[in-house]
Each structure stands twice: as structure tokens, then as C-alpha cells.
Amino acid sequence: MTNPRETSPSGNARPESTPPETETGFVTTRREGRVAVITLNRPEALNAITIAMAAELARVVRALEVDDSVGCLLIRGEGRHFCAGADIKEAIPVAFPRTLTGNYLADLGTLGECRKPVVAVVSGAALGGGCELALMCDMILADETARFGLPEIRLGTMPGAGGTQRLPQAIGKARAMEMALTGRPMDAAEAQSAGLLTRIVPAGRLQDEAMALARSIAEASLPAAMAIKEAIAVTPDGLTQGLRLERRLFHALYATADRREGMEAFSEKRTAVFQHK
């Protein structure tokens, strides 16, 4: 699960071996019987997701989905945090036209399309795209340190990987609106009472309990498990349209000065000053 890495001139760590061009080494997998464990492995940046990492995650998920020896996926973050969202520093220079031509960050949605059961194991921050990744999963197990939030508004932007669609489904419109419009995160207890979590597990036991849960699912009949997931996860007709609209609105915000100011302010560790344009 370890990846020898070096630091590039841009400050992003890269694998020092010679993996395929597009492989970052920031998404690792390991197998335990029929359970596949996916680890977001960039703890120095709280597992923030770069464009290349999103592509790698998508590739991994697609490969596991068609692997008959895998019955359940488990996704976790290396270190103290699940994932602090998309990499804000990488996003600063991204221009609006490129968001459209490159369908910017669309790969992050692949986990939400996986037809096999997926369990999220959350410690620490699950913010922005990290919260959205957890929302794409079928179950979320969290420890007491977990916090879930959609802070994009503070960056002058908005959720783009399903947060505006799946969070209201999970916890209701009123609470989701407050979270997305203020950026205020929920702690584990609030997330549990809001119905976001399968359960809270003491930190020292989280990985083992998640593995036990994933193993019990993976050992069941795969066709039955996939059929059950499909039936329970059936969503109102609007989800596909909603996800598309959200993504395009998210891309459109890359044309605003406020989005750039918000992201620059984060990277410069100061408060953003928005001009509302």
C-alpha cells in the first residue's frame, strides 16, 4: 500500500518508479478476500483530489466493478482525514473554457455509478468533493472525529460532484440548504442524527468494523447484492438531470472573479474578499 514518492517542482508528490504516465500513486488498492479496499493516499494534502487522481480513482472503480472476484468496495483516506475535497491549489488557474472542454473533474462521479456495494470509512474531514464521495457510497461508517461539509461557497464556488443532489436526499432540503449555503460542517453526532451515517464506531475499531461489514456483504451472493443495491438506490427521475445541471453550473462559476479570489485566498491562508461578480 506504500508508494515511493518524490516531490515535483510544483510541490505535488509523484511516484518515483515508472508507472504509466497517468498513474499518480495517490490511489492505492488492496484486497482482503472478496473485499477491495481503495485508499486515497495523499495525506500531506488531506487526500485532496487532483484531476489525475480523480481519473485514477475512476479507472480503479471501473476495474473492480467488472472483477468477478470482488463483492464489495471499501473506500478510506490515509492518515487522519478521509478527504478535504478537490485540490484547490490545482484549481486556481483552471479557466472556464477548460472546464467545459475537459469536463473538469467529471471522473469523480464514477464512484457514484458503481453497481457493486460501496462502503465509505470516514475519519476527520469529508469536505467538498470528499463529502460528495462519501455520499456516493451506499453506507458510511464514521468515527467521532468525522465531519461532513460542503464549504465550496466559501471559495466562491459550489458543489459539483452530486452534493446538491444527494445531500438533500440523505438529510432533507432544509439542512442541506443550510450546509451548502453557509459551508458549516456537521460533526459525526449531527450526521448520525440527520441520517447520513450507518453508524459511528470508536476510532480504534473503525477499520476493523468496516472490514467486517464489507466482508459480510462480499460473501453474500453478488447478483443478489447488486440487485438489492439497484433497487434501494433507485432515485427520483431528476437525479441524472440534476447532476448534469450541477456540473455545468459548477463549471460556469469558473468564469467568475469570486471563484478565483476564493481559491487564491485559501492557498494564501487569508479570508476571501468577494466582489460578487
Contact residues for ligand DAK, defined by CB under 6 A: 45-46, 48, 84-89, 104-106, 108-109, 125, 127-129, 151-152, 155, 160-161, 247, 250
Min CB(26)–ligand DAK separation in Å: 12
3-state secondary structure 170-226: HHCHHHHHHHHHHCCCEEHHHHHHHCCCCEECCHHHHHHHHHHHHHHHHCCCHHHHH
- Tell me whether residue 74 or residue 155 sits nearer to ligand DAK (CB atom): 155
Q: Which is nearer to ligand DAK, 139 or 161 (CB)?
A: 161
Integer Cα distance of 250 and 275 in angstroms = 18
For residue 124, indicate whether it is catalytic.
no
Q: How far is CA 199 from CA 118, 119, 120, 204, in A?
A: 15, 12, 11, 14
**Which residue reads 451472493 in cell numbers?**
221
Task: Give bridge partners of residue 37 from the DSSP assignment.
Answer: 30, 74
Q: Is 261 annotated in the active site?
A: no
129-136 vs 163-171: helix crossing angle, rounded to 10: 60
- Do β-strands 186-187 and 147-149 pair in parallel, antiparallel, or remain unpaired? antiparallel
What number of residues does the chain have? 277
Q: Residue with C-alpha cell 478510506?
A: 76
Q: Which is nearer to ligand DAK, 186 or 213 (CB)?
A: 186
Active site residue 44: no
**Do the Cβ atoms of 145 and 101 come closer than 8 Å?**
no
CB of 227 to ligand DAK, least distance (A): 28
Q: How far is the CB of 45 from ligand DAK (least distance, A)?
A: 4
b/e sequence 47-84, b meaning 16+ C-beta within 10 Å? bbbbbbbbbbbbbbbeebbeeeebbbbbbbbbbebbbb
From the list 45, 54, 86, 91, the catalytic residue is 86
Picking from 163, 155, 188, the residue whose alpha carbon sits closest to that of residue 267 is 155
Distance in Å, CB of 191 to ligand DAK, minimum: 16
If the CB atoms of residues 31 and 248 are measured against ligand DAK, the closer one turns out to be: 248
Least distance in angstroms from the C-beta of 151 to ligand DAK? 4
Give catalytic residues, as residue numbers.
86, 129, 132, 152
